[in-house]
A and B are shown apart, each in its own frame.
Chain A
Amino acid sequence: MPEMIPADSVGLVTAQTMRFDDPLQLECGRVLAEYALIYETYGELNAQGSNAVLICHALSSDHHAAGYHSMDDNKPGWWDTCIGPGKPIDTRHFYVVCLNNLGGCKGSSGPATMNPETGKPYGPDFPVVTVKDWVNSQRRLAEALGIEQWAAVIGGSLGGMQVLQWSIEYPDRIRHAVVIAAAPKLSAQNIAFNEVARQAILADPEFHQGRYYEHDTQPRQGLMLARMLGHITYLSDDSMRAKFGRELREGKLNFGFDVEFQVESYLRYQGRAFVEHFDANTYLLMTKALDYFDPASQCGDSLSLAMKQVTASFLVVSFTSDWRFAPSRSLEIVKALLDNNKKVSYGEIEASQGHDAFLMPIPRYMELFSAYMARVVEEVR
């Protein structure tokens, strides 16, 4: 609980919901006749509408990127380290928008929301949405908010993929693209991890072909396993060693299968906590969106070709210990931009925290991010 709101926080925030009834054509061929998007905004849109920044969230996060919902919150939004007065995405200058993507479970239309055709939760009937679909829905939200062009679209991990898609799909609607700890497509290893996570959920007897809401249950065990697995890929070998080593919870071996090592305890805790606030069907959808993302596939597998029409300036950032989306993956994006003589800067931040580093206030990272955004502010003025 924040006893008092820190001075560099956006403070207390309230989410809003926008309903859309113009049908959205999806990449899978299906159409969403109506849908809702929940979002938060921080800062003020200027008179010219030129200072808007879109934050794209990653696999398991949501629209609550910064600030607190109430004084009872024990922690702020997921990217509070980077959004707020005096922070890299400075809310004294920018109007920041962050939404929960379609298929999510935090208030935007998703598997757990009511299907108007059946009067029951969509469950497995919610269409498989892609990064492209998300960007299209984000564009509609932008229009509804009176934003013709984003000063910047920013995201880490799966969020970075949305940024990439924005720059390709709507080059005239984005001036700056900040792509952090991302990749232009998943590797076979990435997909393999996602598949194990999905199998964990699908194999849970409580899954009921995705209609677990109707059985008043949820595949807790499966979702927990999926999260535990995912969590390992967000950390680095070094950071796990530093945090847990081989430390034992009770100081001795018990020769059994209960929690003995601290790392086991930590993973189980993370898994259990996740199940309390996340939906298994959403997890399935989000991992599929990750797997499918591959903008180069439309252009003979040439990312350079796919990025030919890009007009945005780019900041690409990677972290040395990130093995989920290693620096070499970010360099693929950089190379495609260089091939096209696009404006791009690239920083490889020395960090031990693995993929999760993109959420952390690492001084060199904050310095680079702030320096870039300060240039964006100058253009907005």
Chain B
Amino acid sequence: MSAAQLRADLAIISEWIEPGSSVLDLGCGDGALLACLQDNRQVSGYGLEIDSENIARCVAAGVNVIQTDLDAGLSEFDDSSFDYVVMAHTLQAVSYPERLLQEMLRVGREGIVTFPNFGHWLNRLGLAFGGRMPVSRTLPQAWYDTPNIHLCTLADFELLCEKNGIAILQRTVVDYAHRASFIAGLAPNLLGEIALYRFQRL
């Protein structure tokens, strides 16, 4: 698979990853990111995934995948086993995001996460004037029927990083179609729909 065929946020992430490195992909879905990295950047690694259908898809794509529940932690992995630990669109769906962030930097040298920004202006408007939990392009499910149980804004995430001694190395915001724009870059917490972060221990 080439980077051009990749979902746009994954394409951005793949640019952040050094060729020849080792990657652990948490919530790897159908394994598209790892397949692309293996084919184009000589990356080795594993995907972790909970959904059975996706396990077979990963295997079909030639990606090493371990069926596991991220809420159980990363105890199968030793300290500093990977160059990167990636978690795309999954942070908001796990039970213990803080613990998992710590775990990411225990087993990996750098962490990369992406998540929908709850601080986006449309979400703010919806709550401020509609008085109800926002339903948007990036958060399409109703509050009672969503896997997204730990929503946060860019500011929230950065505060959590600070609290845990995590240094942010790179930040990008993109829109729903995963396009970066100059305007969104000016006020990311207000205008960015999806946040991408690369970070390491201080």
Contacts and interface: CB of A to CB of B under 8 A. Distances in A.
A371 B59 contact: yes
B126 interface: no
Contact of A368 (B44, B46, B59, B68): B59
Given A331-B76, A344-B66, A338 B56 contact: no
A183 B67 CA distance: 17
Interface string A311-343: 000010000000000000001001100110101
Given A344-B66, A346-B67, A347-B67, A367 B56 contact: yes
Interface in B64-98: 64-68, 76-78, 81
Contacts of B52: 347, 349-350, 364, 368
Contacts of B22: 341
A375 interface: yes
A372 interface: yes
A338 B53 CA distance: 22
A374 interface: yes
Given A334-B66, A343-B64, A375-B60, A368 B76 contact: no
A371 B56 contact: yes
Contacts of A348: 67
Contacts of B19: none
Interface string A355-375: 000000000100110011011
B62 A375 contact: yes
A367 B58 CA distance: 12
B161 interface: no
Contacts of B32: none
Given A343-B64, A344-B66, A345-B65, A338 B59 contact: no
Contact of B78 (A334, A339, A344): A339
Given A371-B56, A375-B59, A346 B78 contact: no
Nearest to A348: B67
B150 to A, nearest CB: 25
B55 interface: yes
Given A338-B46, A371-B60, A375-B62, A347 B55 contact: yes
A93 to B, nearest CB: 16
Interface in A28-77: none
Interface in B15-57: 22, 44, 46, 52-53, 55-57
B107 to A, nearest CB: 10
Interface residues of A, number: 22
Interface residues of B, number: 22
A348 B50 CA distance: 9
Given A335-B76, A338-B77, A339-B78, A368 B66 contact: no
A177 B53 CA distance: 22
Q: Point out which of A349, A364, A368 has the most chain B C-beta atoms below 10 A from its C-beta.
A: A368
A63 B81 CA distance: 42
Given A348-B67, A350-B52, A374 B60 contact: yes
B21 to A, nearest CB: 13
Contacts of A368: 52, 55-56, 59
A338 B76 contact: yes
Nearest to A366: B56
Contacts of A338: 46, 66, 76-77, 81
A331 B55 CA distance: 16
Given A345-B64, A347-B52, A350-B52, A334 B58 contact: no
Contacts of B81: 338, 341
Contacts of A375: 59-60, 62
B64 A344 contact: yes
B165 to A, nearest CB: 27
Nearest to B50: A348
Contacts of B53: 364, 367
A375 B58 CA distance: 11
A34 B163 CA distance: 71
A256 B154 CA distance: 73
Contacts of A315: 59
Contacts of A345: 55, 58-59, 63-66
Q: Point out which of A343, A344, A367, A374 has the most chain B C-beta atoms below 10 A from its C-beta.
A: A367
Contacts of B67: 346-348
Nearest to A314: B64
Contacts of A367: 53, 56
Interface string B139-179: 00000000000000000000000000000000000000000
17 contacts: A315-B59, A335-B76, A338-B66, A339-B78, A341-B44, A344-B46, A345-B63, A345-B64, A346-B68, A347-B52, A347-B55, A347-B56, A368-B55, A368-B56, A371-B56, A371-B59, A375-B60
Interface of A: 315, 331, 334-335, 338-339, 341, 343-350, 364, 367-368, 371-372, 374-375
Report the 6 A-B pairs with minimum CB-CB distance, sorted nearest first.
Answer: A371-B60, A371-B59, A367-B56, A371-B56, A368-B56, A346-B66
Given A344-B66, A347-B67, 16 more contacts: A315-B59, A331-B76, A334-B76, A338-B77, A341-B81, A344-B64, A346-B67, A346-B68, A348-B67, A349-B52, A367-B56, A368-B59, A371-B57, A371-B59, A374-B60, A375-B60
